[in-house]
Structure 1
Amino acid sequence: MTHTEPLPARAALPVDLDEAAHRCLVAGFEGTTVVPDTLKRLIDRGLGGVILFTRNIRDAEQVRRLTDTLRALRPDLLVAIDNEGGGIGHLVTAGAPEVPGNYALGVVDDPALTARCADALAGHLASLGITVSYAPVADIQQQADNPIVRTRAFGTDAGVVSRHLRAWIEATEARGIASCAKHFPGHGGTLTDSHHELAVDPRPYEELDLEPFRAAIAAGVPMLMSAHVVFTALDENRPATLSRRILRDLLRLELGFDGVLVSDALEMKAIADQYGEAAGARIALAAGADQVIVAVPDLGVTLECRDAVLGALHSGVLAEERVREASERVRRLSERYAESSLAVRAWDAGVGLEAARRAVGGQKPPRVVTGAHVVDLFPAPHPALNWGGEDLLTAVHEVDSSATGTAVSGEPEDLGALVDGILRRAEGVPLVVATSDGGLYPWQGRIVDALMGRRPDGVRVATGLPEGGALCSYGRGKVNLRAVAEVLVGAR
């Protein structure tokens, strides 16, 4: 049953325990200016945090007013957001700095440059009154067919990933923003996106990607986020988010992490379809999580999760000591990252484009391709990550107004008609054909083969991971696309 109002505190639960239970929750909500009454009541009872999404963002001034309103209700409320960079974020309309994304930074492999990009993102968060950034990604891109990590990772090598994590965490900390390395103990070895179904990593223990998380802990990362992934070498039955063996025995006892462990969003199918959000909240806290995220704007789901936790405390299924321990960690984090009253110093607004330019690699075109017809093939934006669907044609047109193009964001109904139309429009001008993770989307390969078979002079570009020696941007953030466009038309 979905409740529309918070339940009254159970008589058997002390007020401080009720507050502790609420502190273990992070809630999403609808709205840009008005805080829903249900959310106000949750905050009044001790809600630990809120997570903002694009639905909560209009512009910088509005976000600042919203965070002020939230914190006026409870000064120690954590205000969080996903803020990875490279197009993975929700603050575009609020003036977020454009940075190229992790993989491109790993390709450049200059930790000082990574720190400058992280500083720009963290400085912007501080100016908006946001205190928690659910970044950086600590996963290693291990599987060529992994559908969810890819250019969100700093690379395929544990050493590269580890040193860039340290740079990111330290720069974010210097801004007084809490960083959160994710997704423990690593999502890069799966062939499944846990947003859509349960993911499994079958590798033996010695092959798991723990080194970056050790590096993050050594760098003082204040938060980690768990993965909704079953690691058969660690726990054959439960995903990491719900596993005591992983959250307590491995993370707390073996790796020595004593910061706040937050779950990935409970409404992701790997949890919601297998267990349900409410049971997921109860099991995750019992297993060792300190906070659980309910990101959907329907606060009824948050209430169901809250009620499951209170009910488990009341019945003794969930130990009081476990909830108090989790709540105390969240309380310490809230105190440490309470919003500063100091003015926010400026950040380097140009560092992202600098980084993206340094990252462009692969096969350079044999000649400048001004006036080209640009074909940009890419999958539909991932709904949870909020990549905005930027296209290469727009980036090329900014530096070459004579360019034309075609953007294709999904498998066409009539491939032959599409190809014929493109070739008519590209007659007599250079042809550029860009793909994005073409290996995951066979329709892209079919279009490329058809076009290049009739136009072997076409220039190939990859806007995701490298593909067949093509000119590569290593990401689809705006600055990634701008940097590769400049190389194509000889603008730098």
Structure 2
Amino acid sequence: MTSTVDRCLLVGMHGYTLPGRLRDWLADGLGGVVLFAGNIADRDQLGELVADIRSAGEDVVVAVDEEGGDVTRLHAATGAPHPGNLALGAVDDVALTERVGAAIGAELAALGINLNLAPVADVNTNPDNPIIGTRSFGADPDRVAAHVVGYLTGLQSTGVAACAKHFPGHGDTAVDSHLALPTVTGDLEPHLVPFRAAIAAGVRSVLTAHVTYPGLCDGPATLSRAVLTGLLRDELGFTGAVVTDSMTMSAIAGGVGVAEGAARALAAGADLVCMTGDFGLQREVRDHLVGHPALTGARIAQAAARVRALARPVPGDPTTAATTAEMADAARGALVADPGVGRLDAAPYVLELSPPRQGIEPTAGSLLAMLTARDPRVTGARLAPDTVPGSPAGRTAGRPDHSGGRPDHTVGRTADPAAGDTGMTADIADRALSDALAAAAGKPLVVVVRDAHRVPATRQRLGTVLANRPDAVVVGIGTGADRPLAAGRYLGTRGGARVNLSAAADLLVGARR
């Protein structure tokens, strides 16, 4: 059963080139590799890496989270050119969403990637949700369902398999499963609507949620036979591959542990177990699965067959990909602006208070940088941790950088945005904020936040800014649930992707010349 168990594992890796021991494991039957921004230097390198991975074994899955919008691996250094799900849901043009899915799929297919861990099918009904937010198409189950089907149809028309996530729903949580195990006590049925639609539309895989639904499962849904077999297979009729969210997330690793969690997930009905972490842990998990009493040969063979099928492309009728202009129009259409918020009468000072998203790789998107590129007279500061992948963190400075161009991202210690922490010690943050307000005197002030309503430190600093500068324009790059904090001077982008920020920049200072 050893090589068959290997087929059921999807592992992460470090670096830009395929390690020899991972190459050997792929030759021995490893199911596949999931790639992150840290594995991507540029397009040419990524293409070579994917080709190397796929040539190392037979029917190898190469997966990536390229949702578009705030979650991007291929465009992590610059921000995504796709407006993101919440923006697309707000525009509510399902045909456009299908074309965006096709644009993402075409890019992945050209690189040889055959599984995209998208679309997000969660219905974001909880405004305090720390991990779904703008990744969802919205809070209405039917609207979310329509756009999920549009996205997966466009994506799969390119031959890249789609993966609806996070089953049976992560939208009504106030806890990030990367950090702890969320419990959902609300009605499950509305959250199943998009998954039912995705299954009916032929989605090729479904990714599980590390979330507990009392009455349905005693622990994480990922480990529940009642959820993965009883609900997903028997009731909803799904016949494709079930992929787990990463077993190294705290909701699993901090409970039953990664190795036993993997065994229980496979026994419950999962087919492909996702693991980040180092090679030693991955092999430890694999060895734990071999001969595990809960895993029969028939169950593992069934799972392995589904993984093999997932790796093979299924030709479809190609959907026309969305153009750059169409996606820019969608981002502009998704903007929400209070009356009177529009073109600024002078070059502004831009104060960015937006901490990075916890649990997912942040991107380098900066409204300050975009505005400076349009008008070199723009100045500002970012009082949040550096969000450029691979950049240094933990450095300390006495004041923010008020120059144009890329701001100085200086912090006093590592950030924990989930705890309301922007990464600075309070005294450093207060001094930096005071310096920024002084530098903004006599200029229009733009303050950038992300869902400040649920981040206490950001909410407090925003309050301080508005007490001093009630004329400031507040740009919210999250869901828009923080709009009431802006006292009628709000511009919401419904996403922090490059194209969303560009739409805001166009409105405030005009299009880039």
TM-score after normalising by structure 2: 0.86
Question: Is 1:376 paired with 2:352?
Answer: yes
Cα distance in 2, alignment partners of residues 214 and 109 from structure 1: 20
Cα distance in 2, alignment partners of residues 253 and 279 from structure 1: 25
Q: Structure 1 20/416 Cα, relative in aligned 2: closer, same or farther at 3 Å?
A: closer
Contact 2:477/2:492, CA 8 A, preserved across alignment: yes
Give the counterpart of 2:201 among 219, 229, 246.
219
Greater shift after overlay, 262-271 or 44-53?
A: 44-53
Cα distance in 2, alignment partners of residues 219 and 411 from structure 1: 43
Cα distance in 1, alignment partners of residues 497 and 127 from structure 2: 21
Cα distance in 2, alignment partners of residues 192 and 67 from structure 1: 34
Q: What is the SS of the residue equivalent to 1:80?
A: strand
Contact 2:348/2:446, CA 8 A, preserved across alignment: yes
Cα distance in 2, alignment partners of residues 125 and 438 from structure 1: 34
Contact 1:381/1:387, CA 8 A, preserved across alignment: yes
Give the counterpart of 2:301 among 324, 344, 365.
324
Q: Structure 1 347/164 Cα, relative in aligned 2: closer, same or farther at 3 Å?
A: closer
Contact 1:202/1:232, CA 8 A, preserved across alignment: yes
1:12 alignment partner in structure 2: none
Could you say what the CA RMSD is over the residues aligned between the two structures, in angstroms?
A: 2.2
Give the counterpart of 1:265 among 246, 251, 255.
246
Q: CA deviation at 1:75?
A: 3.7
Contact 1:60/1:95, CA 8 A, preserved across alignment: no
2:81 alignment partner in structure 1: 98
Give the counterpart of 2:493 among 473, 481, 485.
473
Contact 2:264/2:294, CA 8 A, preserved across alignment: no
- Match for 1:475: what amino acid? G
Greater shift after overlay, 347-356 or 393-402?
A: 347-356
2:210 alignment partner in structure 1: 228
Q: CA deviation at 1:94?
A: 8.9
Cα distance in 1, alignment partners of residues 342 and 258 from structure 2: 55
Q: What is the SS of the residue equivalent to 2:380?
A: strand
Greater shift after overlay, 412-421 or 115-124?
A: 412-421
Structure 1 portions without partners, runs of 5+: 1-16
Cα distance in 2, alignment partners of residues 279 and 212 from structure 1: 30
- Match for 1:110: what amino acid? D
Question: Is 1:304 paired with 2:304?
Answer: no
1:445 alignment partner in structure 2: 459
Q: CA deviation at 1:127?
A: 1.2
2:415 alignment partner in structure 1: none
2:265 alignment partner in structure 1: 284
Cα distance in 2, alignment partners of residues 359 and 480 from structure 1: 8
Q: CA deviation at 1:131?
A: 0.7
Give the counterpart of 1:388 among 345, 363, 370.
363
Greater shift after overlay, 148-157 or 419-428?
A: 419-428
Question: Is 1:359 paired with 2:334?
Answer: yes
Greater shift after overlay, 283-292 or 390-399?
A: 390-399
Q: CA deviation at 1:451?
A: 1.7
Contact 2:72/2:80, CA 8 A, preserved across alignment: no
TM-score after normalising by structure 1: 0.90
Greater shift after overlay, 92-101 or 211-220?
A: 92-101
Q: CA deviation at 1:47?
A: 1.0
Contact 1:225/1:263, CA 8 A, preserved across alignment: yes
Q: Structure 1 411/50 Cα, relative in aligned 2: closer, same or farther at 3 Å?
A: closer
Q: CA deviation at 1:42?
A: 1.8
Contact 1:380/1:389, CA 8 A, preserved across alignment: no
Q: CA deviation at 1:346?
A: 7.7
2:397 alignment partner in structure 1: none
Q: What is the SS of the residue equivalent to 1:261?
A: strand
Contact 1:127/1:344, CA 8 A, preserved across alignment: no
Q: What is the SS of the residue equivalent to 2:295?
A: coil
Q: CA deviation at 1:317?
A: 2.8
Greater shift after overlay, 152-161 or 365-374?
A: 365-374
- Match for 2:323: what amino acid? D
Contact 2:70/2:134, CA 8 A, preserved across alignment: no
Question: Is 1:210 paired with 2:189?
Answer: no
Contact 1:395/1:481, CA 8 A, preserved across alignment: yes
- Match for 1:118: what amino acid? G
Residue deviations 1:169-203 (CA, integer Å, cap 9, x gap): 10011100001010000001111100011111112
1:11 alignment partner in structure 2: none
- Match for 1:418: what amino acid? A
Q: Structure 1 291/173 Cα, relative in aligned 2: closer, same or farther at 3 Å?
A: same
- Match for 1:227: what amino acid? A
Cα distance in 2, alignment partners of residues 290 and 56 from structure 1: 25
2:10 alignment partner in structure 1: 26
Question: Is 1:460 paired with 2:474?
Answer: yes
Q: CA deviation at 1:407?
A: 1.2
Residue deviations 1:310-344 (CA, integer Å, cap 9, x gap): 131xxx43111111111111122223359x9xx99
Question: Is 1:398 paired with 2:373?
Answer: yes
Q: CA deviation at 1:45?
A: 2.0
Q: CA deviation at 1:490?
A: 4.0
Contact 1:32/1:57, CA 8 A, preserved across alignment: yes
Q: What is the SS of the residue equivalent to 1:461?
A: strand
Q: CA deviation at 1:228?
A: 0.4
Q: Structure 1 24/337 Cα, relative in aligned 2: closer, same or farther at 3 Å?
A: farther
Contact 1:365/1:471, CA 8 A, preserved across alignment: no
Q: What is the SS of the residue equivalent to 2:475?
A: strand
- Give percent identity, aligned residues only: 40
2:418 alignment partner in structure 1: none
